[in-house]
């Protein structure tokens, strides 16, 4: 699933590991995350992610994972 030739990425927040430090929210250049209740991050705009992985590399709790989103590789007939 590419959007006009742009690679798309999947963001995963492991809520049990997150301590709500806000690094991902404050420094994401694409503003993918926003603060929800109690300061925990929420994925606001997943298609804006550029895949730079800044949030993943700087998260002190390893609570974020970024992976490229690949197109559906199944055949049209469902097999």
Report the alpha-carbon distance of residue 4 to residue 8 in Å, rounded.
Answer: 10
> Does residue 1 fall inside a structural domain?
no
pTM: 0.76
Domain count, the chain: 1
> Does residue 53 fall inside a structural domain?
yes
Report the alpha-carbon distance of residue 38 to residue 44 in Å, rounded.
Answer: 16
> Does residue 74 fall inside a structural domain?
no
What is the model's pLDDT at position 37?
83
Question: Which residues constitute the domain of residue 54?
Answer: 11-69
pLDDT tens, residue by residue, 20-78 = 999 999 999 999 999 998 889 999 999 999 999 999 999 999 999 999 988 665 555 55
> Does residue 6 fall inside a structural domain?
no
Q: What is the CATH number of the domain that holds 58?
A: 3.30.70.20
């Amino acid at each position: 699933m590419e959007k006009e030739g742009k690679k798309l990425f999947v963001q995963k927040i492991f809520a049990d590991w997150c301590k709500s430090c806000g690094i991902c929210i404050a420094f994401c250049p694409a503003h993918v995350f926003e603060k929800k209740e109690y300061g925990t991050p929420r994925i606001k705009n997943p298609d804006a992610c550029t895949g730079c992985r800044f949030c993943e590399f700087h998260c002190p709790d390893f609570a974020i994972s970024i992976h490229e989103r690949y197109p559906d590789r199944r055949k049209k007939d469902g097999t």
